[in-house]
Structure 1
């Protein structure tokens, strides 16, 4: 006779979330089934619904947890490039969360916990941009920085830059990429400023 494991209220929720992350990492979010997760957790097939209601609720909880983890990963460093490195590191360390967080069609967009977690992560991203000098549009600068980090993380997880890395550490490679872009920006600004100075008569 098989004895089912018993969980306290909070333990069951975490057990189902952990099982969901395993499935997403191995097979993608499309493979999720509350009934299958209940079997993995050793509880009745109806038990997960008490916490998540349905599959969308479960994926929303995964995304909210991911945004909270991302906010924590980004906190504590003022330099934008290092925040980008931490963003890439987060994606590598939490690939299942990363797969779900940016798929709005899978989520309950008005979920309070999701909205609050997204705002915490967004605030950390904005804080990095706030440290840049001479940025005409902070919002556009933030989107540019996010695009670089998110794009590289996605290419890394889908193994589309394996050959380009050539065995190099992905974080160091990202630092080089970000440095090239920053250097290009400064090199363009410098001639423009020097040109503005030509012909200027002081006094």
Structure 2
């Protein structure tokens, strides 16, 4: 690939990232990305033979962003215990989901993850592995990957329902903190170690 090819490929992804941020995952059509990039509607196929490949490249940017945030969170909480680190990671995850709903939706679409393009599984699974490792330290009595999976599913649901306004309506909460703490206690036990 020439430098101009690499540049156009990156611009197509940049435009896709901006489009998903502004209008959500449903706006990510090849035609619209091409139009906003200023190229013919067939040009993206030169770099991304399928729509799924382009979506995967855009989602990879989301995983890279989330991984950077996770790394910063772990660095900021390096001296904290594993439960506090899980709490900090959960907050980071929820903040990312709420601040970037279109990207978040795209990142966890089954077809995008299962496509195998750009190693998305290799990008997303280490993030889950970090969570499972910390859960194992908090809950040595349990199967850490299962507890981490249940916690992740709980966080995912919390993010979606909070974004839709359903949890605020049902609970009267104006901050997701109390719900997050309840979810963490349900999966990890209380802060004082009692289950």
Please give the range of the TM-score, normalised by the shorter of the 2 chains. 0.7 to 0.9
Which residue number corresponds to residue 123 of structure 1?
Answer: 129
User: Aligned partners of 1:108 and 1:43: how far apart in 2?
Assistant: 29
Which residue number corresponds to residue 64 of structure 1?
Answer: 60
User: Aligned partners of 2:92 and 2:136: how far apart in 1?
Assistant: 17
**CA separation of 1:174 and 1:45: change in aligned 2, threshold 3 A:** same
User: Aligned partners of 2:11 and 2:164: how far apart in 1?
Assistant: 27
- The alpha-carbon deviation at position 112 of structure 1 amounts to 4.2
Which residue number corresponds to residue 190 of structure 2?
Answer: 183
**Count of aligned residue pairs for this structure pair:** 181
**CA separation of 1:152 and 1:27: change in aligned 2, threshold 3 A:** same
- The alpha-carbon deviation at position 84 of structure 1 amounts to 0.9
**Structure 1 length as normaliser, TM-score?**
0.73
- Does 1:92 pair with 2:88? no
- Does 1:35 pair with 2:41? no
In the alignment, structure 2 segments of 5+ residues that lack a partner are none
**CA separation of 1:162 and 1:128: change in aligned 2, threshold 3 A:** same
- Larger-Rg structure: 1
8 A Cα contact 2:113 2:121, kept in partner: no
8 A Cα contact 1:19 1:40, kept in partner: yes
- The alpha-carbon deviation at position 58 of structure 1 amounts to 1.2
8 A Cα contact 1:23 1:32, kept in partner: yes
- The alpha-carbon deviation at position 89 of structure 1 amounts to 1.0
8 A Cα contact 1:17 1:62, kept in partner: yes
1:28-83 deviations in Å (ceiling 9; x for gaps) = 43333212211111122232222222211111112222222222222314421221
Which residue number corresponds to residue 201 of structure 1?
Answer: none
**CA separation of 1:15 and 1:167: change in aligned 2, threshold 3 A:** farther
**CA separation of 1:179 and 1:104: change in aligned 2, threshold 3 A:** closer
Structure 2 counterparts to residues 134-145 of structure 1, below 5 A: 134-145=140-151
Question: Which of the two has greater helix per residue?
Answer: 2
SS in 1 for 2:41: coil
- The alpha-carbon deviation at position 156 of structure 1 amounts to 1.8
